[in-house]
Amino acid sequence: MCNKNKHQLYSYFMSEENPEMREMAARICRDYLHGVWKHVTAENIILKRISGGLSNWLYNVQLPDETVPIRGEPRQVLLRLYGQIHGERALEGLITESVIFTLLSERRLGPKLHGIFPGGRIEEYIPARPLLTKELADPTLSCMIAEKMAQIHCMQVPISKEPTWLWDTMAKWLDTTRDILENIEDIDVRHLKNVNMIRIIDLDHEIKWFRSLATRHKYPVVFCHNDMQEGNILLRQNTRKPELVLIDFEYCSYNYRAFDIANHFVEWQYDYTAAEYPFFHERTGSGPTKEQKLNFVRSYLKTIGKEGPTEEERIMMEIKIFFLASHLFWGLWSIVNAKLSEIPFGYWDYAVSRLKNYQYLKEKITVCGSPTIDNIDIAKKETVVD
């Protein structure tokens, strides 16, 4: 049987139309939820598949229209079924992510956890929408995001407290990147210009150079989200005042606090809602101004109880260094996904964009700088750094 037919069969098995899937969803809800959920059946639940792939399958499960909750149970939930898990490292990552999700749920920093079972979990279904890129600059929302980030940074999570995640992840991605760039005959000819731009960079050297720079000082290490872009920040609907909920904790780990802040600021420049290739817009010049950064930093410091000009100046200096890390990190991520991901996205274009910005910022903080990725004069390019 060809892969296409296998995929079609698998998709049907996981679809809401499949009686076996409906029966499984109903059984899980009966077993792990309370109140009227104890009486739902495959025939009367409302089941809608939200998304599905190799990693997770997501479903919105609702009580029958005529059913009335009796003990405060939710009318609808999000059912998450884990996909294929390959290897001990993947299983370890899944366990860690489940622990983190549970802790964030208890602290009301993420969706409520209703149940966890072998093969998945039941989460709060949040009537919400992700923020728009331009909304990250809204002063009120920016302060709220800073507060959420600060609350996460104050958490004590039972995992390794060393900031090894950043270095280990980049080292893993670098190995994959080497293989991809050494086998360019496997790459679509349309992307070769971008590939050749990237090949002139000694990425191994850049990682070592930045690690030397970052570890020269004892920058504060905290528990970080590591991916606070607009798509992972939900704005609840139908509430009297704005309320934000964070999602997607795949990259959570102990890391340098300035990475989380700098990475968030970089995301002000990237809009991932473009309808046509490369499916993102780089919003040059849209990074936060110094005043906007201070607005965020002051809200962050107020939340952790460390207000004052000295702390403000300290964080602002840290952020300038870790803008580099954000660009280098996601540049590597994009090269890896250009080969491995089936999601339609201009990964090679995105990698070039991030690595150009990395080189430009590096030149700003070094005497001689490094060779540019191509002949474009990026020294005049506006960025998030003052």
The number of distinct structural domains making up the chain is: 2
In this structure, are 169 and 121 located in the same domain? no
The DSSP line for 60-75 is EEE--TT---SSS--S
For residue 216, give its domain range. Answer: 129-371
- pTM as predicted: 0.86
Mean pLDDT of the residues in the chain: 89
Whole-number Å distance between alpha carbons of 262 and 385:
10
% of the chain residues with pLDDT over 70: 89
Is the pLDDT at 3 greater than 60? The verdict is no
In this structure, are 303 and 340 located in the same domain? yes
Is the pLDDT at 140 greater than 80? The verdict is yes
| pLDDT value at residue 342 | 77
For residues 53 and 168, which has the higher predicted lDDT (pLDDT)? 168
In this structure, are 197 and 69 located in the same domain? no
In this structure, are 71 and 181 located in the same domain? no
In this structure, are 26 and 171 located in the same domain? no
pLDDT tens readout for residues 60-90:
999 999 999 999 999 999 999 987 665 666 7
In this structure, are 284 and 336 located in the same domain? yes
Q: Is 122 helix (H, G, I), strand (E, B) or coil?
A: strand
% of the chain residues with pLDDT over 90: 76
Question: Among 49-53, 57-61, 76-80, 152-156, where is mean pLDDT lowest?
Answer: 49-53
Whole-number Å distance between alpha carbons of 216 and 204:
18
CATH number at residue 46: 3.30.200.20
In this structure, are 51 and 159 located in the same domain? no
**Tokens 């090269």 — which residue?**
335
Per-residue burial over 339-361, b = 16 or more CB atoms within 10 Å of its CB, e = otherwise: beeeeebbbbbbbbbbbbbbbbb
In this structure, are 195 and 207 located in the same domain? yes
| pLDDT value at residue 84 | 60
Note whether residue 377 is domain-resident: no
